[in-house]
Amino acid sequence: MSEPGTKLSIKDRVIAYIWHHDLSDSSLLRSLYFQLLRTLYVIIRDLGDGQLTLRAMSLVYTTLLSLVPLIAISFSVLKGFGAHNQVEPLLFDLLAPLGDKGVEIGTTIIQFVDNMKVGVLGSVGLVLLLYTVVSLMQKIERALNHAWRVTEARQLTRRVSDYLVVVLIGPVLIGASLGISATIMSADFVGQFTAAAPVETAVKFFGTFVPFILSIAAFTFIYIFIPNTKVRLTSALMGGFSAAVMWKITGWVFASFIVTSSKYAAIYSAFASLVFFMIWLYMSWLILMIGAAVAFYHQHPEYVTVRTEEERLSNRIKEKLALLIMKAVAGNFYNGGGTWTADGLAQYCQASIGAINRIIGALTGAGILSQVDADRSGILPSRPLETLTVAEVLLAVRSAEEFTHPGSDELRDEPAINEIQDAVEKASTNALGGRTIKDLI
């Protein structure tokens, strides 16, 4: 609170208006209004922090290297289903905001793809081709994991298989969707009924609305499948809808900008198309990241707060969270109950999903817990409860970051200090008396 007579800045006034309202007794419309404002505030704050924009820029660079191989693989898959003609219209639709330059860039990319012969590449070239595609998918996963406060990526084997499923199955689904909509629009019975004015209006509306629905479906699919965590369908749909709306609005604004960009074309000359293409790629990836943030805050409203400081956990909190998680997971496992999810553990422990993911990552890395699914939808003990001691669990969370930060072996060696540390570890182990996780439950 400011002192009497102190003039508030514009930022302070905005914060006071958005956050200093008790919504417990408010109407539904008023609550939705302020929840929307608060979500918009935290997303703008995230953009100001620079992490979303930084990851969008890194994806632009990776896309430039991976775009032709990705389209080549998609083209090959769709060709096997006889639907390869859908690639070119889809690419031109994505580049439509670039206007004539989009047609030029799309034509050039298609020529590159046509000139890429898999048989000529050989085994080494094919491996490099797949590697560039997998590296793009890995970058996308890391970016979305950051938006979802997930610090652990998929395992290597699961990563490759999941990425290839997206790359191989995704084009088939897109091609099928476009083919179905085109078939419906060109069917004979549609032509017979479009003579009536209301039906003709409905058909035109359907033809205009289908691309928007497909955009929502594409973003929703990415938000559900790519992050290494369990994403609820409603949250993914909320993020997908927001991203699709931003995509359409940004595309319209960018197309208007391209029309009046003759001065920039004169300055950059032959590089103008490349510059506009990179700007559009950046805007597209930034929209993807913003949509992911919307989905995250919808699923985890506890993060929609005015506080900006990074969440920090003391060793005592880490140890307590580790024991709470082990008690819940081992208890269900021992009694034949269902598996826990990260979201369920967050509610059980009354902690944030970010803190829970950190502890799960530490326990998984130490071989104490294992994940049934890559999206943390099933967490189980990976060792017998009779032999897993409480002391091992506590040691796992205390030493979890020693491989990413300076470990004890890299610091100055002082025998007296080493002796104190060993004494503390022995005292802790002796105090627990060999107590196991089975004893805990």
User: What angle separates helix 390-398 from helix 315-334, to the nearest 10 degrees?
Assistant: 140
Q: Average pLDDT for residues 304-326, to the nearest whole number? A: 82
pLDDT attached to residue 159? 74
Residue % of the chain over a pLDDT of 90: 10
Q: Are 311 and 355 in contact (CB under 8 A)?
A: yes
What does pTM read for this prediction? 0.71
Q: Residue 409 pLDDT more than 80?
A: no
pLDDT attached to residue 282? 92
User: What angle separates helix 100-115 from helix 87-94, to the nearest 10 degrees?
Assistant: 140
Which of 198-212, 253-267, 335-349, 410-424 shows the lowest mean pLDDT across its residues? 198-212
Check residues 171 and 146 and name the one with the higher pLDDT: 146
Q: Residue 99 pLDDT more than 80?
A: no
Give the burial class of 245: count Cβ atoms within 10 A of its Cβ; 0-12 exposed, 13-18 middle, 19 or more buried: middle
The mean pLDDT of the chain is 77
- For residue 227, give every residue at least 6 positions away whose Cβ sits within 8 Å of its Cβ, in sequence order, or none: 141, 144, 145, 147, 148, 150, 292, 375
> How far out from the chain centre does Cα 422 lie?
42
pLDDT band at 1 (very low <50, low <70, confident <90, very high): very low
C-beta neighbour count of 46 within 10 angstroms = 19
> Could you report the per-residue pLDDT of 237-274, keeping only the tens digit for each?
999 999 999 988 988 888 777 766 666 666 666 677 77
Check residues 179 and 16 and name the one with the higher pLDDT: 16
148: helix, coil or strand?
coil
Q: Are 106 and 71 in contact (CB under 8 A)?
A: no
Domains of the chain plus CATH, in order, are: 51-303 (no CATH), 315-440 (1.10.10.10)
pLDDT attached to residue 97? 73
> Could you report the per-residue pLDDT of 130-170, keeping only the tens digit for each?
777 778 888 888 899 988 888 777 777 777 777 777 766 66
> How far out from the chain centre does Cα 194 lie?
42
